[in-house]
Amino acid sequence: MILIFCEKKEGRLKKSAYELSCLAYQLSQELKEEVAASIISGEEGEDFSHLKNFGVSEIYLYRDEELANYSLTAYGKILSSLIDEKRPFLILFSHSSQGWDLAPYLAARYLSPCLTDIVSLEIKEGKILAKKPIFAGKVNQDLEITNKSPLFFSIRPKAITVTECARTEPKIITMPNSEPDLRIKVREILTGVRDLIDLTEAEVIVSGGRGMKGPENFALLEELAKVLKGAVGASRAAVDAGWRDHSAQVGQTGKTVSPTLYIACGISGAIQHLVGMINSKVIVAINKDPEANIFKVCDYGIVGDLFTIVPLLTEELKKVL
Ligand code: FAD
């Protein structure tokens, strides 16, 4: 069995759940294993049937009000009891803050290998091959995994293209509740941060750096992001200056993102920033310095003052869209 852990947000499965199902389905074709999904939920009445388009055969559903918010110990206990019972061969997580927490925690329990932030995973001639960016994304490391199961992987969000795989009628199995292990508990989720579009899932990101000159000017980026139905990111310089929340920071010490479109405004393109966004499909840079490093990695570069260009872009895009 290949087991995937599906994360939820506000009653819906996150996009990463479909990415993991697609990847698991591709692997299952080679491994001749079934794909099962595990979902931990605090609410009643949610619909997970959409997973039927993604080759999932079974859904193990855990429902408990106390599990509405992520808890390493509670989720870890549930998943380890499922692993003990079903003995999956591969266990896939998204490389989100939850997956990054859970995958190594569980791997340590089973003394199993855990590969994190993987951008590709495949079976070739019976070998399990993974690709992992290292040295701040400058190099991709090719890995062959020879250890025995269970094997734990966290997969970088958006590294896998979602396509409909195979229609199945997944059996939804509601699992019995045991006392949740809530030694670690989320006590509060700050609204405001929660309301933002998750950067790691956004299709479009408009990011601002020190060139924005002050927090009030991010309104320009918010307007452009609104037209493009995207999210607003920031460089560390902007975050350190207190202009944006740390949750918006893209880069080595922030989030790794791979949207379809990344628009960098007033960002110089330091390596620590690039490592977080270099896998974006299309990169647009707006910078008044023609020598800025960001122009070396962008697909479209606009040399000029962002305070002139961004409003123009927003107006034109409003007309087109
Ligand atoms: P700057 O480098 O100051 O660039 C500002 C740019 O704005 C310039 O290119 C300028 O030409 C342009 N500009 C100014 N005015 C305008 C205008 N009106 N119109 C158009 N362009 C204009 N950085 C990150 O971003 N993310 C990280 O996660 C991160 N992690 C780090 C970890 C470590 C260990 C270290 C040492 C550094 C890290 N950094 C990170 C910091 C990184 O090295 C850079 O300092 C930072 O990315 C610079 O941010 P910036 O591009 O916004 O600012």
Query: Is pLDDT above 90 for 242?
Result: yes
Q: How far is it, in rounded angstroms, from Cα 84 to Cα 178?
A: 15
- Please count the CA atoms within 13 angstroms of the CA of 299 that sit on its side-chain side: 12
Percent of the chain with pLDDT over 70: 98
Q: How confident is the model at residue 75 (pLDDT cuts 50, 70, 90)?
A: very high
**How many angstroms separate the alpha carbon of residue 261 from the centre of ligand 1?**
19
The answer on pLDDT for 288 being more than 50 is yes
Q: What is the pLDDT of residues 41-52, one digit of tens each?
A: 887 777 787 888
What is the C-alpha separation between 265 and 288, in angstroms, rounded? 10
- Predicted local confidence at residue 210, as pLDDT: 98
The single-letter DSSP state of residue 43 is S
From 273, 274, 278, 291, give the residue whose CB has the most ligand 1 atoms within 8 Å, as the site to mutate: 273
Which residues, listed in sequence order, are joined to residue 106 by a DSSP beta bridge?
none
Which positions ≥6 away from 81 have C-beta within 8 Å?
A: 178
Measured between alpha carbons, how far is 7 from 13 in angstroms, rounded to an integer? 6
DSSP H/E element including 226: helix 218-227
Per-residue pLDDT tens digits for 98-134:
999 999 999 999 999 999 999 999 999 989 999 999 8
Q: What sign has the CA pseudo-torsion 104, 106, 112, 117?
A: negative
Residues at CB less than 6 angstroms from ligand 1: 209-211, 235-238, 249-254, 266-268, 270, 272-273, 276, 286-289, 292, 305-307
Q: Out of 18-27, 80-89, 142-151, 218-227, which region has the weakest mean confidence (pLDDT)?
A: 142-151
Q: Could you tell me the distance, in angstroms and rounded to a whole number, from the CA of residue 266 to the centre of ligand 1?
A: 8
Residue in the block written with tokens 């670690």? 184
Cis peptide leading into 311, omega within 30 of 0? no
Contact present, 159 and 279 (Cβ < 8 Å): yes
**Ligand 1 atom nearest 293 alpha carbon:** 9
Please give the residue that has the higher pLDDT: either 166 or 70. Answer: 70
How confident is the prediction for the chain on average, in pLDDT? 92
Q: How far is the CA of 234 from the centre of ligand 1 (A)?
A: 9
Chain centroid to CA 169: 27
* Nearest Cα residue to atom 45 of ligand 1: 237
**What is the residue with the minimal CA distance to atom 27 of ligand 1?**
251
- How many whole angstroms from its chain centre is CA 171? 26
Which of 102, 120, 108, 103 has the alpha carbon at shortest distance from 156? 120
Report pTM.
Answer: 0.80
Mean pLDDT of 295-321: 97
Which pLDDT value is given to residue 194? Answer: 45
